[in-house]
Amino acid sequence: MRTALIPLRVHLRRSLRSEKDAIGYNLVALQYLRRRTDAERTAQFYEEEDFDEEKVRARIAEGKKRKRVAIKA
């Protein structure tokens, strides 16, 4: 029985490793696409507002954060 299980275990581990590598590769690709999309949307937002580069840098450096609003239930 043991002699049949050992090759099965080796094959299973090899298959799982290849699947894990494929998932990792796809995850990295999705993260890259998300960063690129976020950068494009940010650039598009500033282009729509008709800012030049100096105004954009000033607005980013301003660093204003959104106010938190307390909602009472």
Confidence tier at 30 by pLDDT (50, 70, 90): very high
What are the residue ranges spanned by the domains of the chain? 2-62
Q: What is the pLDDT of residues 40-65, one digit of tens each?
A: 887 776 666 666 777 777 777 776 66
Cβ–Cβ under 8 Å, residues 36 and 28? no
Which pLDDT does position 49 carry in this prediction?
64
Q: What is the pLDDT of residue 46?
A: 66
Residue 46's region, left for phi above 0, alpha for psi from -120 to 50, else beta, is alpha
